Structure 1
Amino acid sequence: MTAEAPKILIYSDGACSGNPGPGGWGAVLISGKHRKEISGGEVLTTNNRMELLAAISALEALKKRSEVALYTDSAYVKNGITGWVHSWKKNGWRTADKKPVKNVELWQALDALRNKHDVEWHWLKGHAGHPENERADELARLAMAPFKLAPRPSNPAKT
């Protein structure tokens, strides 16, 4: 990575009330003294989709190619993007047992974004008192709140 590209720390988290159910995602982006918080939600989703959307949205928020350390408490996201995705791509986005990859459009988006940046992926234990991870969780829960009151569509979300 070039010297002018700052190291950006990203803490991402997703939340879901029911699985599927209303969900939210949140992310904290830190670059030096600068801090940005982003979040969003959906009326009917899954925890895995929210975890993926948190990471995707955080990387999409970066305006230029960056060196990134992304922290997630989701083993699904961490293991998927650092390991499983390579096999899925070779297998035409199918799992080892030839089934379609769940959340394929989100995995494809995350894969494309990670290739636009120099990303180090880190797993950290959730709800363990890490301030930025706790804040990302709070943002996800706050973003989910309005959707808990919304009527649910009749077609359930993918896992």
Structure 2
Amino acid sequence: MTHHELIIYTDGASRGNPGPGGYGVILKWGTREKELSQGYRLTTNNRMELLAVIAGLEALTKKGVPIVIYSDSQYVVNAVQKGWLKKWISTNFAGGKKNKDLWLRYARLAEDHAVRFVWVKGHADNAYNNRCDKLATTAADGKDLLVDEGYESENS
């Protein structure tokens, strides 16, 4: 098989919204897999869903590889696929659109890659998505939680 695309499964979770949160990511390249996860002391579910995508893209060393990202977040998938994000950026997130810091981080990363999103039903029968959910919730419940600077500085 010569054509390769990188597959990234992502999930975010928060215990309370806002509350402690975490993300889980699985990067899959052929038969190779890598898992990433991290917890934060105070954040939101949407931020963790988006940060999972960002963490997956930030882990990449090659540019221009076709990437398919599986997410159960309609917020993330629709914002990109339906062009909401382009509009938010062009209006500088007018009208109180949230998570500007993360969306701008995502937008910069997306410029280097051919990214396509696929929405998957959460907590269903996709083993990778379920594993990401477990990584995310375990991270949220863990010790050594990081500070989600973007969230806490906006909401303090």
Whether TM-score is above 0.5 comes out as yes
Task: Give TM-score scaled by structure 1 length.
Answer: 0.85
1:76 matches 2:72: no
Q: After alignment, is 50-59 or 138-147 more displaced?
A: 138-147
Q: Which secondary structure state, in structure 2, belongs to the residue aligned with residue 146 of structure 1?
A: coil
1:140 maps to a residue whose letter is A
Aligned counterpart, 1:133: 129
CA contact under 8 A between 1:12 and 1:51: conserved in structure 2?
A: yes
2:51 maps to a residue whose letter is L
Aligned counterpart, 1:15: 13
CA contact under 8 A between 1:81 and 1:111: conserved in structure 2?
A: no
Quote the offset at 1:101 in angstroms.
2.1
Task: Give TM-score scaled by structure 2 length.
Answer: 0.87
Structure 1 portions without partners, runs of 5+: none
Task: Percent identity, please.
Answer: 43
1:49 maps to a residue whose letter is R
Aligned counterpart, 1:122: 118
> Once superposed, what is the RMSD of the aligned Cα atoms?
2.1
Matches for 1:1-159 after TM superposition, within 5 Å:
6-65=4-63, 66-82=65-81, 83-94=83-94, 99-147=95-143, 157=152
Write the distance in 2 (CA, Å) between the matches of 1:101 and 1:39: 26
Structure 2 portions without partners, runs of 5+: none
Quote the offset at 1:89 in angstroms.
1.8
CA contact under 8 A between 1:24 and 1:140: conserved in structure 2?
A: yes
